[in-house]
């Protein structure tokens, strides 16, 4: 069995990856995995998107709120939920975000005030 994939890289050089057992191709060059490779590429691109990165930075409470809003939107689109109910849920979600934003701003102000006080004391 060959210890190197039979595929080639984009620049035409031989692929240096180890082949999958009994195949002769690595996962990225195996013709039988073309469909799965496309899915891998799509999922990799999604993980790097600005939206996904922003979602990862959200606190868990706001992530939960965002996920709930996605479900509400899908329910409205499919006709499973009345728009008036979705509107009420959106208003509550806005209140949750406003409370979080206020708490974040207050924490930042307290941090700045502490730094200013520390500088004044020294």
pLDDT tens digits, 27-40: 888 888 888 877 77
User: Any idea what the Cα angle at residue 65 is, between residues 61 and 67, rounded to 5°?
Assistant: 115
pLDDT tens digits, 54-112: 667 777 778 888 888 889 988 888 899 999 999 999 999 999 889 988 988 998 999 99
Nearest to 24 by CA among 39, 40, 37, 5: 5
More confident residue, 54 or 21: 21
For position 97, what pLDDT does the model report?
87
1 has a pLDDT exceeding 60: no
For position 55, what pLDDT does the model report?
66
Residue 80, SS3 per DSSP: coil
């Amino acid at each position: 069995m060959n210890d190197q994939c039979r595929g080639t890289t984009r620049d035409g050089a031989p692929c240096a990856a180890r082949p999958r057992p009994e195949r002769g191709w690595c996962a990225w060059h195996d013709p039988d995995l073309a469909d799965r490779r496309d899915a891998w590429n799509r999922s990799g691109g999604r993980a790097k998107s600005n939206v996904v990165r922003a979602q990862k930075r959200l606190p868990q409470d706001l992530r939960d709120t965002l996920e709930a809003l996605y479900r509400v939107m899908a329910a409205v689109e499919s006709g499973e939920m009345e728009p008036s109910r979705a509107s009420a849920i959106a208003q509550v979600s806005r209140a949750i975000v406003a409370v979080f934003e206020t708490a974040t701003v207050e924490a930042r102000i307290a941090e700045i005030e502490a730094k200013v006080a520390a500088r004044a004391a020294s």
